[in-house]
Structure 1
Amino acid sequence: MAEPLIVMVAYDGVELVDIASVTSGFDYANRLGASPAYEVLLVTPLGRPVRCDSGIEVRGQGRLDGVAGPIDTLIVSGGQGHEAAAANPRLVGQVTRLAGLARRVASVCTGATVLAAAGLLDDRRATTHWYEAARLAARFPKVRVDPAPIFVRDGEVSTSGGVTAALDLTLSFIEEDHGPEIARRVAMGMVTYLQRPGGQTQLSLFTNLPRSDQAVVRRVIDHIIGHLDGDLGVAKLAAFAGVSERHLNRLFAEHVGRTPSRLVRDMRMEVASHLLTRTSEPLAAIARRCGFASAETFRQAFVAWAGVPPSRFRAAER
């Protein structure tokens, strides 16, 4: 059986991690005995080296207009040069041509802009890096942009979220092609989480929380993040900050938009949800790591937050 051809499109201003996450994932699958093995081809508009966002140059193995079918998977990388790439009619035209030769088509991060410019996302649900989602939706109103998921698969066209989400999408392709066991072994070999579900959100409370310039608020938030398994009651937090509970609540209302207690709860629940979906740790261990006195206390808090018990949440997200 012929090796399935993976064609990855790069251009000036591409993100190196977007490329490496995909190419390394398929290479690991080959090392682990994927049969038939993948053949990965990195192509650039003119077959010349392209300069990545980081300044590193990457040499292509061919030029876009020199690729002929059949293609198993066409993947367009993202990067700061995505808008210039999407405005290049020759590049977009070649992507359109190659998509017609491919079994499945995908983009990594802001590579979705190129797919959208080619009309390949029209009337489809798609995602991109959360920071660029609003711009993509405004520029291409026919695309149903969802900024939340790590990746979206809509028929034969897939899109992934920011940067390292490319690896999650690649693992999903490997699982589709060769089964879950080899996908898990690839994840283990690359020392990454064992496949986050595509619907898991890109945005985290830890990364999306506004960074306050207020010194007391900043110190308290940093303390909370580093001590989720400890006593984070308002009295303890106020004592740590050297202010009254009333003043601390007022500062958080003004600068965070939620009380210290609410922030602690939300952070603990987010960490718990990640541990439930990414690890096999017992509920009692997760409860301790997230600052709950018992598994039952954790279960009650999780039900109040998510609407389902942690065991059911774990089963549904795997």
Structure 2
Amino acid sequence: MTRVVFVLLPGVHLLDLAGPAQVFHGAYQLTYVAEREHLTSAQGLPVVAQTRWPELERDDLILVPGWRAATLRAGPRPREEELARLRAHHAAGGTVASVCAGAEALGLAGLLDGRRCTTHHDLQDELAARYPRATVVRDVLYTVDDRVVTSAGIASGIDLALHLFSARHGPAAAARVARDMVVYARRNGGEPQASAMLRHRAHLDDTVHRVQDLIDGHFTEPLPLSRLAAHAGVSERTLTRAFTRATGGLTPLRYQQTLRLERAEHLIGHGAMMESAAREVGFEDARMLRRLRARVTVRPAGRPSP
């Protein structure tokens, strides 16, 4: 891969574009193409692109970032020229990729038919309805199927790009890029889009949010209920009732254990031994981690199939 071509549509999300561009920057020639030279991003920043496509080789990559729209149907529609370019590049043995709503472009090009794919969790049902011949994999970071690579929303484009970088240059080189970007070395495609820190924050209880802030920052440490209650300025009983109600049934301890388990699964998915993962997340040994894994059904953080 010597060149990465980004296909930009009106309302392009900046992080969908900038995340992968930062991963590939310095190693490849980056080209930005669009119907018009000037377009406006979803965040209001003007973007300049070129209207002429470069000559592509088989090893080059075409990537379609997502854009701002309430639904896929309501979003901008790629031109037939762009769809034809996607089809032709894939037919010639090249790789095409998308971030978030960019999967719509691959679907319109017919490249999702018979393949696994994903998109942002808010758009997954619509993607499945619009392209019934595709297999939409829900709540994963990215999928790889026959040189068609799709990722979920926003920051997951970085994970997709690091995966492609690693496939070409090896995990050590990808880890160096990730380190420069100050992100995880690389999250596996099968990991969930929404972490526990996000799943249990959809409430309006400020007291519980303050306690969650403390747990999120120190979940590897012992956090007795008395300390959490003192931090919130309420009694232990009041905190337990409020926390359970706000998080849909979790006590502060169960919430902390959920964070520990999720982090341990990430470490194990990246090659850590059970014992070392348990100790890193705050358990004295692996026995408690094994019990939690047996109690809770956790999807293995395996690598996506090629």
Where on the TM-score scale, by shorter chain, does this alignment land: which range?
0.7 to 0.9
Is 1:152 the counterpart of 2:143 in the alignment?
A: yes
**Where is the helix percentage greater, Structure 1 or Structure 2?**
1
Which residue of 2 is the match for residue 62 of structure 1? 51
2:62 equivalent among 65, 71, 74:
74
| TM-aligned CA deviation for residue 20 of structure 1 | 2.0
The 1-side partners of 2:270 and 2:116 are apart by 25
| TM-aligned CA deviation for residue 236 of structure 1 | 4.6
Range that drifts further, 225-234 or 99-108: 225-234
**TM-score (structure 1 length as normaliser):** 0.78
The 2-side partners of 1:55 and 1:24 are apart by 20
Q: CA 1:52–1:273 in structure 2 vs 1: closer, same or farther (change >3 Å)?
A: same
Contact 1:110 1:128 in 2 (8 A): yes
1:8 equivalent among 3, 6, 9:
6
Report the residue type matching 2:47 in the other structure.
V
Which residue of 2 is the match for residue 268 of structure 1? 260
Contact 1:150 1:168 in 2 (8 A): yes
Superposition RMSD on alpha carbons, in Å?
Answer: 3.2
| TM-aligned CA deviation for residue 249 of structure 1 | 3.8
Which residue of 2 is the match for residue 221 of structure 1? 212
Range that drifts further, 100-109 or 17-26: 17-26
Range that drifts further, 229-238 or 161-170: 229-238
Contact 1:11 1:85 in 2 (8 A): no
| TM-aligned CA deviation for residue 121 of structure 1 | 0.9
- 1:200-279 maps to which residues of 2 (within 5 A)? 200-234=191-225, 236-238=227-229, 240-241=231-232, 243=234, 245-260=236-251, 261-275=253-267
Which residue of 2 is the match for residue 301 of structure 1? 288
- 1:83-102 maps to which residues of 2 (within 5 A)? 83=72, 88=77, 91-102=79-90
Range that drifts further, 269-278 or 52-61: 269-278
| TM-aligned CA deviation for residue 114 of structure 1 | 1.8
The 2-side partners of 1:125 and 1:265 are apart by 32
The 2-side partners of 1:104 and 1:26 are apart by 15
Gaps in structure 2 of 5+ consecutive residues = none
Contact 1:194 1:278 in 2 (8 A): no
Which residue of 1 is the match for residue 21 of structure 2? 23
Q: CA 1:84–1:259 in structure 2 vs 1: closer, same or farther (change >3 Å)?
A: closer
1:40 equivalent among 9, 13, 30:
30
Range that drifts further, 168-177 or 7-16: 168-177
Q: CA 1:55–1:61 in structure 2 vs 1: closer, same or farther (change >3 Å)?
A: same
1:183 equivalent among 174, 191, 199:
174
Q: CA 1:179–1:129 in structure 2 vs 1: closer, same or farther (change >3 Å)?
A: same
Gaps in structure 1 of 5+ consecutive residues = 31-37
Contact 2:8 2:64 in 1 (8 A): yes
